[in-house]
Chains A and B, each alone.
Chain A
Amino acid sequence: MKLIIAIIQPHKLDEVMDELEKAEIHLKTVSNVLGCGRQKGVTEVYRGVKEAGNLIKKVKLEIAVNDKFVETTIKAISKAAKTGQTGDGKIFVLDLEECYRIRTGEKGSEAIG
């Protein structure tokens, strides 16, 4: 089991969700996050005062998958989230030790999906 964490551009979320649905990846958690990388920060101006280097709004997806779905998931996200510009985001893949479904008490591969 793997945990896939993807940081993407907020305006790409809809396309990523559609692509994941097509690939039959149903289990996902989405949150609003702030961050920066090579894209650096954004500049906002209030009453003439420039505020450089503000963290940029991003969307974070957390997806737990069985090993055989890892490639499909990464492909789906990459395909939908890519614009070719700086700031498109990152995908991290982590080993997932255990997974429980609270309702039934199932665990492991059974519990995902």
Chain B
Amino acid sequence: MKKILMILTILTGLFATGWLLAEEPAATPAVCGVAAEPAPAAINTGDTAWILMSTALVMMMTAPGLAMFYGGLVRRKNVLSTMMQSFFLLGLISVQWILWGYSLSFGPDIGHFIGSLKWFALSGVGSAPNPDYAGTIPHNLFMIYQMMFAVITPALITGAFAERIKFSTFAVFSLLWATLVYDPVCHWVWGTGGWLKTMGALDFAGGTVVHISSGISALVFALMIGKRKNYPARPVAPHNMVFTLLGAALLWFGWFGFNAGSALGANELAVTAFIATNTAAATAALVWLFLDWLVIGKPTALGGASGAVAGLVAVTPAAGFVTPMGALGIGILVALVCYLFVSVLKHKFGYDDSLDAFGVHGVGGTVGALATGLFATKMVNAAGNNGLFYGNASLLWTQAIGVIATMAYAAAVTFVLLKILDKVMGLRVKEEEELIGLDITQHKETAYTLVD
């Protein structure tokens, strides 16, 4: 019991810094009734084991999870290029994170906007816990857990420019985007001293940091790179729905590490988040299938997969703050809104967000962030806050500020980056290369042989 209280104490401190206890120096756990002494930094082996596992689960979400989900949705001639983008980011962002990404995101605060470079190349980031972030696991475990979030975020954007991006431009863009968009936004929301964290915006596992930032950037990218040749006159049928379903299932599986892992301990909060995650995914999948049935007459496999992912996206910021019923409500809401965007509005507007990176992650992330302002309740997590449905309208407003600020910042920086890269490197492959396919023209490989 004492251990549980201690974990709760630290978690309370972690999620409450800024809004519950802004005026008090230490994260005093009034909720638990434990002494006000800050807990000594002691590593808990159960917590450490769970976060190690969660780190590996989140790694799996990028590749094979997202790689297969996206890879199945493109044509045969582009499957390697699409999967390769996710795989490549595992390499690129891992190194970026070790060198300066972690320091910029979580390092000592500069003006509530970004971390300093004091932790460059992980200097000072050792196995001693950092109670500001997670007091019961090694600091460097928190670092590598967060690395996997940094890896998947730019990978989500790849859905917007699939089948026409120049690989070299993609590589440079991703490195710059991770440094100039992800790292600062991550600091705003999660870094000690970050302005959104201080303001009390709730983002349990990265709805704003991961999904809104990447989703809105995906929309800007889709608009600036332009449509694929012959789109939408000739719709592109997914070349392998089995990949896509397998990828979606792996994402669902990995998301337990993403959301339940964000409790940063093997505790009650992790279980709460786990249940909320599964509930929202299941509900959204069902609702999306039902909408398909209603609108086109058949329940589609892709509809089920899309719904599940949308549900997972939306519950991400809310997972540790809502009841299972709240998660159910989020699942219904996000399926309705994302369905509308992906199946109707996208075609009305006419932009080619090829694999619906914005339609699912940007829109779903926004629904999730706002829904957290509706469904959050202190009954679930005393370190959280009450949302509108629990009598507190101000949280919804705070959430909206987080959404708008992230969208504006990410969109603006992405726009400037792409303007520059378009001049310097060019965004698209040549028309002929696009028709031949990116696998051959960008990588000198093909996914499938026809003759042995």
Chain A residues near B (Cβ < 8 Å):
44-51, 54
Interface band, chain B:
10 to 19
Any chain A CB within 8 A of the CB of B442?
no
Given contacts A51-B235, A51-B237, contact A46 B347 (CB under 8 A): no
How does the 8 Å CB contact mask read for B326-352 relative to A, with 1 for contact and 0 for none? 000000000000010011100100000
What are 18 contact pairs spanning A and B, CB under 8 A?
A: A44-B237, A45-B296, A45-B298, A45-B300, A46-B237, A46-B238, A46-B302, A47-B302, A47-B306, A47-B343, A48-B292, A48-B343, A48-B344, A48-B347, A49-B232, A50-B296, A51-B235, A54-B237
Those of B219-254 within 8 Å (CB) of chain A? 232, 235, 237-238
How does the 8 Å CB contact mask read for B275-317 relative to A, with 1 for contact and 0 for none? 0000000000000000010011010101100100000000000
Interface centre among A49, A50, A51 (most CB of B within 10 A): A49
Complex interface: chain B residues within 8 A of A54 (CB):
237
Per the bound structure, the CA–CA distance linking A100 and B300 in Å amounts to 50
Q: Which 9 A-B pairs have the closest CB atoms?
A: A48-B343, A51-B235, A45-B296, A49-B235, A47-B342, A46-B302, A47-B343, A51-B237, A46-B238
The answer to whether A48 touches B295, judged by C-beta atoms less than 8 angstroms apart, is yes
Give 5 new A-B contacts, CB below 8 A, not counting A44-B237, A48-B292, A48-B295: A45-B296, A46-B238, A47-B356, A48-B347, A49-B232
Interface centre among A45, A47, A50, A51 (most CB of B within 10 A): A47
Per the bound structure, the CA–CA distance linking A70 and B235 in Å amounts to 43
Per the bound structure, the CA–CA distance linking A51 and B347 in Å amounts to 14
Per the bound structure, the CA–CA distance linking A50 and B356 in Å amounts to 16
Complex interface: chain B residues within 8 A of A44 (CB):
237
Complex interface: chain A residues within 8 A of B343 (CB):
47-49
